[in-house]
Structure 1
Amino acid sequence: MKPLPVITMALATSASAGPTYNRLETSFSWSQTKQLIAFGDSYTFIQGTAGHANYSFIGDALSPSFTPSDLLADRIVQNLTGTAEGGPNWVEFLTSCGVKTGLTNPRRCKRKQLWDLAFAGANTIEDANFTPLHHNHTLALEKQVQQFVNHGDPALRSTHTVKNKKDVLVAFWIGINDINDLSKLQRRNATFSLLYERVQRRQFELVRQVYDLGYRHFLFMNLPPLDRGPSPSVNASMVGEFNTILKAHADAFQQVTRDAEVLQFDVNAVLNRVLEGYEAYGFKNATGYCKAYDQPDILTDPGKYGCAPLPTYFWYNSGHLTSRTQEILTRELEKFLKGYV
């Protein structure tokens, strides 16, 4: 999706309003990173030729296994439904992998290789009495990590795609479905801390499994301002509580794994700032969305449906960001990562 010229200009004029990221002397170096491995939900999912249509890059819960040749033959698909944003998402912008329309070899990208295990609609835990699967083919984070341990990591190692795990950044961005689904378990204004604790305790058990494979650099991203979406099922207090518990567990994981690098990026703060001054970023609508977002010609003829161009909307639909919003987010994330030399 090509950015509108007015948006590009607006970003240039508002760049001084962004946060400053100090350069840190650590074992992690973004400039030396060669691969990004990502886990998560629809905010991170990318379509693959070997994936479940509209849900994954490779495999699903009904057929999670794959061979090294299957993985290396898989291609990133970029089109209107190639992500849940109507265009490239943050992992694609960050790696310059799969940004262009068509098919992309994840090993032949401009910046970094991209290996995406995220599954659209995923929760952290697969439990019918807690966070039930959205579909029988859904890979919850538990199963994404299992798929990686059993098939992904062996494939990347045996093909020498990953030669040194210190050159890899492993990203986890999940929780959107968790917080929304858990909001239905009790009164909206009740305390959800015990439920959120269970989610994060399990997430970091899974992170430990990836750590035990030899990966040492981890990125955690918190919840966006879901309370400011077009039809929110959660409030700001719930989002804040979820994010606070995530941070506590990420801090604790850093304490017990001193040889690991735990990076925490505050998505919520960045996007709240964008929403507060959305017009400076070229957005014209920060509360609603184009109801015809999924029509095949929406990118070329939005006026046909009474819509403005999609890049002028903050929200793509009731639960997702537009590709343009993810691009803005990624610029801030890249500044953050470049602080690590």
Structure 2
Amino acid sequence: MSVPFRNVIRKCWKGFNETRHLVIFGDSYSDVGFDACGYDIDEVTEDNPLGVEWPGNPFCETNQPNWVGYIARDRKESDNPLLVFDYAVGGHTVQGVINQVNDYFTPNQESIQWYPNDTLFVTWVGINDVGSFVDPERAIRELISLQKDLYALGGRNFLFIDVPPIDRSPAGLDLDMTPDRYEEWNSTLSTALLKFSEKHDEATVLLFSAWDTFTKILDDPAHYGMDEEDEHVTGRRIWFDDLHPSTWVHKVLSGEIMSFLRSQSPLVNESGGEREGVDASGS
């Protein structure tokens, strides 16, 4: 499913390689396993970019990274390593993300010493909302309201990730799920982000399609070094368990996310204006 969204680049986006701070909100697909209640911002350093010992404790194979860990490791070897503040918690819905922002990020955000032009706010949520039959219009309206709060704090660069085709996971196949509700979530999200970008004229707003990445892997697993039977079973190269992808899928995902972000060139004229970004396929 192609995402009908126009990525928008504005003046505070200096490019992914110049991004210093990655602030992440979401669910188990992004969780690296630290206790947010006891989270110590000072633990996030260039040598320890996740704030916990790499790769953390993500929802995939033991001692293996998820997409966040792969990106942190990739950038650790660069001239501008990322500092990652990952507030994602397994099982969380949009309501959980609201708590992540209001209870943990906002009260401590000044200690991070972030700036509008060196920080990317990443939100990947929705799988648990759809699974709980939450009204997507209401949930995404609340999610956008939260982005407005981040914008008011000075946030200017936003990356959103849509939901993958969970109906094709082992859990989805066992329950005879259909793609309709996941497609509805993604469509509602893209429409809401378009309105958000139009009303916030300094915001760079990007949407990466996990739906497209997972679909490519599931349609042609051999292309990614996986077997066809991996599509339907757990503990193989595609699915770690009945709902969560393996570290191999996270590696593919991290590569595509980094390629997507690096393809979003900053504005030449930094005085203002905007430019259309490229989609996840590079077109």
- Normalising by structure 1, report the TM-score: 0.66
Counterpart residue identity of residue 76, structure 1: V
**Contact kept? 1:46, 1:77, Cα under 8 Å:** no
Residue 122 of structure 1, aligned match among 68, 73, 92 = 92
Q: CA deviation at 1:95?
A: 2.5
Cα deviation, residue 110, structure 1? 6.9
1: CA distance, partners of 2:185 / 2:9: 30
Deviation per residue, 1:298-322 (Å, 9 max, x gap)? xxxxxxxxxxxx5xx2111011011
Contact 1:42 1:122 (8 Å CA) reproduced: yes
Equivalent positions of 1:150-169 (< 5 A) are: 150-157=106-113, 162=114, 164-169=115-120
Does 2:232 correspond to 1:287? yes
**Contact 1:229/1:318 (CA < 8 Å) preserved in 2?**
yes
Look up the match of 1:72.
42
1-structure distance, mates of 2:234, 2:215: 17
Compute the displacement of 1:154 (Å). 2.4
TM-aligned CA deviation for residue 152 of structure 1 = 2.9
Q: 2:59 aligns with which of 84, 95, 103?
A: 84
| Structure 2: tracts of 5 or more residues without a match | 1-6, 45-50, 266-283
Identity %: 23
Between Structure 1 and Structure 2, whose CA radius of gyration is higher? 1
C-alpha distance in 2 between matches for 1:71 and 1:279? 41
Question: Aligned to 1:165, what secondary structure does the other structure show?
Answer: coil
Aligned AA (1:77): E
Pick aligned residue for 2:28 from 22, 42, 53: 42
Question: Counterparts of 2:79 and 2:150 in 1: how far apart (Å)?
Answer: 24
The letter for the 1-side match of 2:110 is: P
Q: Equivalent of 1:201, from 110, 119, 141?
A: 141
Amino acid at match of 1:84: F
Question: Could you say if the C-alpha distance between residues 261 and 77 of structure 1 is closer, same or farther in structure 2, counting changes exceeding 3 Å?
Answer: same
In structure 1, C-alpha distance between the alignment counterparts of 2:17 and 2:239, rounded to whole Å = 31
**1:149–1:317 CA distance, 2 compared to 1 (3 A):** closer
Structure 1 portions without partners, runs of 5+: 1-22, 52-57, 100-107, 126-139, 184-194, 291-309
Deviation at 1:26? Answer: 4.4
- Comparing both chains, which one has the higher relative contact order based on Cα–Cα distances under 8 Å and sequence gaps of 6 or more? 2
Partner of 1:238: 181
Relative distance call for 1:205 and 1:224 in structure 2 (3 A) is same
Structure 2 distance, partners of 1:334, 1:148, is: 26
Distance 2:192 2:9 in 1: 23
The aligned amino acid for 1:231 is: A
Secondary structure of the structure 1 residue equivalent to 2:201:
coil
TM-score, normalising length: structure 2: 0.79
Return the alpha-carbon distance in structure 2 between the equivalents of residues 252 and 110 of structure 1.
33
Rate the CA distance shift 1:84–1:273 in 2: closer, same or farther, 3 A.
same
Residue pairs, 1:1-341, within 5 angstroms: 26-27=10-11, 28=13, 29-48=15-34, 51=35, 58-59=36-37, 70-73=40-43, 75-78=51-54, 82-86=57-61, 87-96=64-73, 111-125=81-95, 140-157=96-113, 162=114, 164-182=115-133, 195-232=135-172, 233=175, 234-284=177-227, 285-290=230-235, 310=236, 313-341=237-265
CA distance in 2, matches of 1:88, 1:76: 12
CA distance in 2, matches of 1:259, 1:25: 9
Cα displacement (A) at 1:237: 1.4
Do 2:27 and 2:125's aligned partners in 1 also have CA atoms closer than 8 Å?
yes
- Check whether the contact 1:220–1:263 (CA below 8 A) recurs between aligned residues: yes
Superposed CA offset, 1:74-131 (max 9, x none): 632346x7100222111221232799xxxxxxxx997311110111110112xxxxxx
